[in-house]
Amino acid sequence: MLITEAELRKLIRDTLLQEVPEGIIGTPGQGGDVQASASQSEMMGEYGRISRIALEIMLGVTPAGAAIDAAYLAHAVNQGDTVGAVWAGIGFIPGIGDLFAGVGRGLRDTIVSGGRLTRSQSDQVARAIDGIKNNASPEALTSLARAASMSTPASRNEFHRTIRREAEPTSTRDDSSRDDEDDDEERNCRIRFVRPTVLRITLDQGSRVSRDIVLVTLIDGSNQAFFKSSGVSGGGAAGRWLPFEGYVTDDRVPPGKRIDDINPDEDRYERLYGDNVLMAKTYWNQPELHRTAGPIGSPTNIMSICLSRHNFSNMPVRDMFIPQSTESHVRALGAINRLLRVADAIDTNTLAFRQSSTGRGRRLLFGIEETS
């Protein structure tokens, strides 16, 4: 959203800015620019100066003419969402943009065009986010959270659409293409199924709920598995298609132990480590990102919307009932995991695969890993 000088002056007078505690931000009549205490100044490293500028922006003082959504940026910083921060315009912040190989618009254009940030760019954005949060006073963080609460999925989605329209060359679009979002979404919703079959998986554990899963190619060219949420596990995502990374042991397996060893925590039932299953959801333990299948406008979020609109009536369905035993899980779920691995559709960097900090080990992928 482009901010005019008049709007900028109004923002400075707005209640959001007035609520910011003294010493964080002040207009010229209130003491000038952002002020940092001596102790804060000592904390300021590489991101000290630019983090103060970033806080100004996220608390409402957006530079005139910069395509930055201040509330969205505050939301992304709060969530540690690097892709969301790029969408919101972190690359346009004076100083921060200079850190990236593709500054400002170039950085965002990578995302708008369906591409991915390089590892170096992603790391730089993450460091910038950490620098902003680490150099903020407790009062500024409170105000940041308040600013973030003003951003909603709907407002972020509208901002994505605005940026996409502005990114299109004028010569390639007319008035109807500017206004007709349905056509835009229809183009984005050309789904390519890696396997034109729905697998309906029913696990013989818990409530025995069946889940449909599909394997598709995202707009960035990568493959991703999705399941249709039953809503049983909570989180408010019932009926939505959400990304996942395969099937793993629900229990973490200590180093050196095998998937078919007896779990001492379950020894009275003679349960093995592989007797209980966890679907490794991509955004496991990240409620907001889980509900939306990733940051708004990301490839997984777009595909989730497309799958929800897709007519599956003509697609063959293969039902699979899987008894509760390590042997059955390794055989049946292992076949699915191997299919995903061949398609390069398993990301073991997600939280479900994280090693326990207390030495309890990690979850193992059925049919792929035998020993922790």
Which amino acid, residue 176? S
Q: For residue 63, what is the DSSP state?
A: P
Per-residue confidence (pLDDT) for residue 342, from 0 to 100: 94
The Cα angle at residue 13 between residues 133 and 25, in degrees rounded to 5? 30
Per-residue confidence (pLDDT) for residue 55, from 0 to 100: 64
Backbone angles phi, psi at 201, to 5 degrees: -100, 125
Is a pLDDT exceeding 90 seen at residue 181? no
Per-residue confidence (pLDDT) for residue 142, from 0 to 100: 77
**Between the CA of residue 255 and those of 335, 356, 367, what are the distances in Å?**
24, 11, 18
Per-residue confidence (pLDDT) for residue 6, from 0 to 100: 44
> Using CA atoms, how far apart are residues 320 and 330, in angstroms rounded to an integer?
14
Is a pLDDT exceeding 60 seen at residue 178? no
The Cα angle at residue 252 between residues 251 and 254, in degrees rounded to 5? 135
Per-residue confidence (pLDDT) for residue 173, from 0 to 100: 44
**Nearest one of 276, 217, 286, 287 to 249, comparing CA atoms:** 276
Highest mean pLDDT among 166-175, 259-268, 347-356: 347-356
Per-residue confidence (pLDDT) for residue 97, from 0 to 100: 52
**At 233, is the pLDDT very low, low, confident or very high (cuts 50, 70, 90)?**
low
> Using CA atoms, how far apart are residues 59 and 21, in angstroms rounded to an integer?
12
Per-residue confidence (pLDDT) for residue 51, from 0 to 100: 58
Is a pLDDT exceeding 60 seen at residue 82? yes
Q: For residue 352, what is the DSSP state?
A: G
Residues 135/186, Cβ–Cβ less than 8 Å:
no
Is a pLDDT exceeding 60 seen at residue 346? yes
Per-residue confidence (pLDDT) for residue 162, from 0 to 100: 78
Per-residue confidence (pLDDT) for residue 56, from 0 to 100: 62
Structure-model confidence comparison of residues 63 and 311, the more confident one: 311
Structure-model confidence comparison of residues 237 and 100, the more confident one: 237
Per-residue confidence (pLDDT) for residue 102, from 0 to 100: 45
Encode pLDDT of 20-72 as tens digits.
Answer: 333 333 333 333 333 333 333 333 344 455 556 566 666 555 554 557 777 78
Computed over every residue of the chain, the mean pLDDT equals 74
Per-residue confidence (pLDDT) for residue 333, from 0 to 100: 96
Give buried/exposed letters for 179-188 (b at 16+ CB in 10 A, else e). Answer: eeeeebeeeb
**At 234, is the pLDDT very low, low, confident or very high (cuts 50, 70, 90)?**
low
Find the mean pLDDT for residues 281-290. 85
Per-residue confidence (pLDDT) for residue 207, from 0 to 100: 72
Backbone angles phi, psi at 212, to 5 degrees: -85, 135
Structure-model confidence comparison of residues 231 and 274, the more confident one: 274
Strands (E), the chain: 192-193, 198-203, 210-217, 223-228, 241-249, 277-281, 317-322
Structure-model confidence comparison of residues 248 and 288, the more confident one: 248
